[in-house]
Amino acid sequence: MGAALADPKPTIAQAKAKLEKLNDRADKVVDRYNTATERYKKAKSTYTKLDTSYKRKLATVADLRTQVVGMAVDSYKLGEDLTSWPGIFGSNDPQGRLAGLAVAGQLAQERLQKLAAFDRENRGLKIERDKAQKALKEADKERDAVQKERAEVLKLIAQQKKLLDRLGAYNPGNPNSTGLKYTGPASGSAAAVLRFAYAQIGKPYVFGGTGPGGYDCSGLTQAAWAAAGVRLPRTTWQQWAWGANRRVSLDDLQPGDLIFSEGLGHVSIYAGNGQIVHAPQTGDVVKVVKLSAYGRRLVGAIRP
């Protein structure tokens, strides 16, 4: 029998169609990666704070333990409890005896307070330790989730690059690009947002990127609005949820508005004059395109 025929190479049109599907899928996976990364950072931060508190209480308990041991040694040396010193109760001087009782009572009270503090701190130490252990377990779990999502992203990126190379369309970008000057109709905070976003034009799309050398879509929108003093959440889903009370119609867009698309897998910034600026996908760069030629299924918009 003759050799089996090799699978025919895909046409340019087929390669572009496959690339579009990969880009859509990558948008969602990258967002999951970003979400997992943010959860890991939060869990790790919680553990670090609790661990610091635990170590601080550990030192406090050690100090109190030393004091308690010292009091026990002193009592042993006296051979009696502080409140039954012979020097106090054997006195023939009523006034002196009363004064001695006052001193003994004060010393006993101080000892009780130190014992209570030791017991309280010791119990608090266990609580802090248990909390820290739980936080560390959560951080480790989130780290594993991040690594799993990252592996899937890297696999998708490899497929995207292979197709882009075939199409001769891979653009590595320039991490040091100084971008373009924004001259559109924005004013106020929106102008600051767009000046920043335009200054990033030409920098590469980098999954998980928050700048300054490269961005993913939500990394760019977060950084751009931060330039105007507005703190957006990290991921597209979080930004959309954050803007629940800031939704605007796609027919009433203003410069600076965030436009969400592809089932909330992608976000861009409206620049005015029917244009958007965004970080598209692997193999591309931060760029300005006409909204009419955007080619993505629009979901909605918010005005931060």
DSSP states of 92-108: S-HHHHHHHHHHHHHHH
pLDDT by residue, tens only, the chain of 304 residues: 444 444 456 677 777 777 777 777 878 888 888 888 888 888 888 888 888 887 877 777 677 667 656 665 665 555 544 444 444 444 445 455 445 445 445 555 666 676 666 667 667 777 877 887 888 788 788 888 878 888 888 888 888 888 888 888 889 999 999 999 999 999 999 999 999 999 999 999 998 899 999 999 999 999 999 999 999 999 999 999 999 999 999 999 999 999 999 888 899 999 999 999 999 988 999 999 999 888 778 999 999 9
Which of 6-11's residues contact partners 24+ apart within 8 Å by CB, and which partners?
A: 10/166
DSSP state letter for 252: G
Pairwise CA distance, residues 29 & 160, whole Å: 13
DSSP state letter for 168: T
Tokens encoding 245:
């009370």
The residue among 180, 120, 223, 160 whose CA lies nearest residue 15 is 160
Helix (H) or strand (E) segment spanning residue 272: strand 266-272
The residue among 106, 113, 105 whose CA lies nearest residue 67 is 113
- pLDDT confidence of residue 178: 97
- pLDDT confidence of residue 101: 45
User: Is residue 247 a contact partner of residue 268, using CB atoms and an 8 Å limit?
Assistant: no
